[in-house]
Amino acid sequence: MDPMSVLPGGHQDVFCTPHLSLLVGATPTPVFLEHAPHVPAELRPRAVALRDAACGSVELRQGVYRDLNAVRGAFDKSLQHDALDESPVVPLMDALRLILNVTRTGMSTY
């Protein structure tokens, strides 16, 4: 399948295999940006908005349910880092809950 082919409605194949794994794998990145001390404070709300928009996408949710292993791998990898500070754990779980359309633990914070 051509990775640049366009689906009906004008959406690209980013929500299909193999692109879905890359997209889901990048999902924890905005969470880490929200909590990185070297990221300017004015950019943190943008990281929250980016995470919420990406994770709340209906197309992403549909793709995720076709490949739950991609999600598990991305989030397992992010949570297994020995140096992972506790502060991004709740937002990571909220991102996962949002992707899976499950009730979130709290509001997005930065």
pLDDT in tens, 63-83: 888 888 888 888 887 777 645
Domain boundaries, the chain: 13-99
| Whether the predicted pLDDT of 109 surpasses 60 | no
Q: Whole-model pTM?
A: 0.66
More confidently predicted of 43 and 76: 43
Average pLDDT, rounded, for the chain: 76
Degrees (nearest 5) of the Cα angle 27, 89, 50?
Answer: 30
Q: What is the mean pLDDT of residues 42-57?
A: 87
Q: Are 27 and 99 in contact (CB under 8 A)?
A: yes
SS3 state of residue 40: coil
Per-residue model confidence (pLDDT) at position 96: 85
Looking at residue 12, the DSSP 8-state letter turns out to be B
